[in-house]
Amino acid sequence: MESRILDALKDRALELGPTPDASGTYRNFKLTRDADGVAWLLFDRTDASANTLSEEVLLEFDMVLTALEAQRPTGIVVRSAKPSGFIAGADINEFRGSDPVAIEAQIARAHAVVDRFETLKIPTVAVIHGFCLGGGLEIALACQMRIAIDGARFGFPEVMLGLHPGLGGTARFTHLVSPLQAMPMMLTGKTIDARKAKAMGLVDAVTEERHVRNAVKEAVFGRLKRAKPSPLIPLFNFSPVRGFLASRMVAEAAKQAPREHYPAPYALIDLWEKHGGDRAAMLKAEQGSFARLMVTTTAQNLIRVFFLREAMKKIAGGDNNIKHVHVIGAGAMGGDIAAWCAHQGMRVTLADMKPEPLAGAIKRAADLYAKIIRKRTDQRDTLDRLIPDMDGEGVRGADLIIEAVPEKLDLKQKVYAGLEPRMKPDAILATNTSSIPLQDLRTSLARPERLLGLHFFNPVSRLQLVEVVSHDGVDQDMLKRATAFVGAIDRLPLPVKSSPGFLVNRALTPYMLEAMMLLDEKVEKETIDAAAEQFGMPMGPIELADQVGLDICMAVGDMLRSKFGDLLPPTPAWLREKVNRGELGKKTGKGFYVWKDGKAEKSSAAAATARPSQEMIDRLVLPISNVCVACLREGIVDDADIVDGAMIFGTGYAPFRGGPLNYARSRGPDNVAATLRALADKFGDRFAPDPGWETFT
């Protein structure tokens, strides 16, 4: 698809040739005119691989508009010269700051350029391929017509950054498309494809790249059958109806994002409820609302998280040469790792000693593909890449072998003894162990240098982090290849040195074991979960333990306690009894909660009356920060920012807090250390602050 777009753009440039207005005057745009007098404005930001809107770009766009007004072309076509897509959004760094008045003035200047473009007395057409997001979609909405190349995707992801659209999108979208469709898109940040965009009236036509020229002619000369806005839009934007719909939207938003932690959805609803009936007033009010959100701690932290993700993507590098992955163990983790790798285009062989786990893994994979892959043929092709392998013959041709058998040292070493002689000389052996040090695992290997860790998190299809675990004898080239592989399967690598629990499980275990201590103190499980959720965790530690599996929690807890002793809470005897009875959580249908249809059955009355104390919240969350500081001090990880990213992308740690170390900074390291000392005096040495707090800033 990308090559076809590039070829088409090059052909058009050759066909049209440079014109006086395209002689190099513009840094980020290329302006040409065809035989019909139509001006083709190609957006091609020179300093980036994707088009984004900065203040410089918008000022230059304003210069282009001045030239176009003087030239009076038959029509104006706006499209991207980047193969990745139209415009990825605004350059969010340019709108950051602490002064809402200054930010609002900056936004007002940007609005003036977009408003000027919208009011041109010349037919304007956006031709959209690839991603059209945020500010890019707002530019497209300012065009009179929109033509999408099949495969394009549209969305407003600003809510993920603690914001709402700020370049006129809130008003233009809710007056072009039914607010019942427009508002949920902006409130959730979800993207839609070109066909869905056409159905809702966001785009006027969907075509293939080879038909773009004819589609543009049809549009410019008034022959395009344009999308008709729903006649119900004025009704939905009528004040009493807006009030009723807004109250429903607030109730839905509250189920997903508490107002005190995530103000953006509520600000958007309020903006539409107050001004949705008056497009001009909503355009004006949007500027102030956006500026006020931009200075919130939530927005600043979520924007930081966005850049942390980008930084972790860069760690992966490129040049992946892993084509065939062999996974050993078709249980919940191994099967899901195999399914994800096949989804990302890898050839995958999945081995297990019994047919039942293999059958279960294939079924789970088919269910996953049905949810995330639109075309049936693509679902089929993906399943074809996932090959059950009872005999383990895939080992011989695999570039990467991932071992995902239960957390038992002797079992893993037995597996290695059987497969090592059959591996290709340059094949990588990776373990998915969640806690066993690689120094222990490597002792039985003939070539220990090719053992490393690739620790995925459950559920594999949703959690983006993979810990890439090294040891002092690892082959650095294989480590580099494994890190590139993580990026190639659309995951974020975290380089960690081998140690008990690595980073994430070492930090998460005290959180979950402290919850068990609170249960021992007869605190209701709903209250414990409410404490974590009040802090901002996506789920409480009791529900999380059920999700992970109580047997796994116990095994990891036992192993880490054997290494760290009294720095961890003890595993209660009643938890062992629960595991022995087979009450392992979600996977057996019963743990602390009863699970039905993949969800925990909770007492709504108990949850409603839960009143967790600040001390309870501190007991749960401060040990996470304490372990992260310890891992930095010990050199397990070497970058505090990446630690924050890892805990967010690997565990769901409250994103609006910016990560456990960022939370400690915002609260004050001295305050955190003092609180830990007070907890240690009251509850024991497991809360003792790590020496790393003395130098942490």
CATH code for position 527: 1.10.1040.50
Tokens representing 501 are: 């629990």
Both 287 and 337 in one domain: the answer is no
**Is 655 part of a structural domain of the chain?**
yes
Q: Per the domain annotation, does 309 fall within a domain?
A: no
Which of 498, 518, 537 lies at the terminal end of a domain, its last residue? Answer: 498
Q: Please give the pLDDT value at position 585.
A: 93
657, 578: one domain:
yes
**Do residue 482 and residue 511 come from a single domain?**
no
Give the DSSP H or E segment for 102.
Answer: helix 100-118
372 and 424 together in one domain:
yes
Q: Which residue has the tokens 């170390």?
A: 661
Last residue of one domain, picked from the residues 461, 480, 498? 498
DSSP assigned state of 692 = G
The pLDDT value recorded for residue 536 is: 94
Which amino acid is it at 78? V
By annotation, the residues acting in catalysis are: 455
Residues 491 and 488: their CA atoms lie apart, in Å, by 7
| Residue 24 forms part of a structural domain | yes
> How far is the C-alpha of 518 from the C-alpha of 523, rounded, in Å?
6
Do 296 and 657 form a contact (C-beta atoms < 8 A)?
no
Q: Which residues of 17-31 are buried (b: 16+ CB within 10 A; e: fewer)?
A: eeeebbeeebebbbb
pLDDT score of 597: 86
CB 103 within 8 A of CB 95: yes
| Overall number of domains in the chain | 3
Cross-strand bridge partners of residue 348 = 325, 386
Both 249 and 368 in a single domain?
Answer: no
Q: φ and ψ at 202, to 5 degrees?
A: -75, -40
Rounded-to-integer distance, Cα 589 and Cα 187, Å: 33
- 488 and 519 assigned to the same domain: no
Instruction: Choose among 156, 153, 53, 152: nearest CA to 109.
Output: 53
- What is d(CA 233, CA 601) in angstroms, rounded to the nearest whole number? 39
Which tokens hold the place of 265? Answer: 């959805």
CA distances 2 to 131, 345, 400, 490, 656, Å, are 12, 17, 29, 19, 35
Residues 26 and 165 in one domain: yes
The reply to whether 486 and 530 lie within a common domain is no
Query: Could you tell me if 655 and 648 are in contact, meaning their C-beta atoms sit under 8 angstroms apart?
Result: yes
* Sequence letter at residue 275: H
Q: Are 357 and 225 in a shared domain?
A: no
- Kindly tell me the burial class for residue 470, based on how many C-beta atoms sit within 10 Å of its own C-beta (0-12, 13-18, 19 or more): buried
Beta strands 465-470 and 451-456, pairing class? antiparallel
Quote the pLDDT of residue 117.
97
What CATH number did the domain enclosing 441 receive?
A: 3.40.50.720
Ranges under pLDDT 50 in the chain? 1-2, 5-6, 8-24
Residue type, 419: L
Whether 307 is in a domain gets the answer no
Q: Per-residue b/e over 410-445, b at no fewer than 16 CB within 10 Å?
A: eebeebbeebbeebeeebbbbbbbbbbbbeebbeee
| Residue indicated by tokens 């119900």 | 232
115 vs 120: CA distance, rounded Å: 9
- Which among 465, 482, 498 is the end of a domain? 498
Q: Are residues 163 and 190 in the same domain?
A: yes
CB 350 within 8 A of CB 340: no
Is 498 in contact with 471 (CB distance < 8 Å)?
yes
pLDDT at residue 17, rounded to an integer = 32
The strand order across the sheet containing 131-133 reads 85-87, 131-133, 153-155, 191-193
Residue ranges making up the domain that contains 578: 505-694
Task: Look at residue 314 and tell me if it is in a domain.
Answer: no
Q: Phi-psi bin for 433: left (phi > 0), alpha (psi -120 to 50), beta?
A: beta
Question: How far is CA 437 from each of CA 153, 190, 405, 430, rounded to the nearest angstrom?
Answer: 43, 40, 15, 13
For residue 140, tell me if it sits in a domain: yes
Which amino acid is residue 510, in one-letter code? P
In degrees rounded to 5, what are phi and psi of residue 630?
A: -60, -45
Phi and psi angles of residue 90, each rounded to the nearest 5 degrees, phi first = -80, 150
494, 509: one domain: no
Residue burial 487-505, b: 16+ Cβ < 10 Å; e: rest = bbbebbbbbbbbbbbbbbb
**pLDDT for position 608:** 62
Judge whether 310 lies within some domain: no
pLDDT at 607: 63
Is position 304 within any domain? no
Q: Do both 613 and 641 map to the same domain?
A: yes
- Size of the chain in residues: 697
Give the pLDDT confidence of 297-310 residue by residue, as tens digits: 999 999 999 999 99
The rounded distance, in Å, linking the Cα atoms of 474 and 455 is 16
Cis peptide before 425 (omega within 30 of 0): no
Q: What is the CATH number of the domain that holds 221?
A: 3.90.226.10
| Cα Rg of the chain (Å, integer) | 28
Per-residue pLDDT, 381: 96
How many C-beta neighbours within 10 Å does residue 162 have?
26
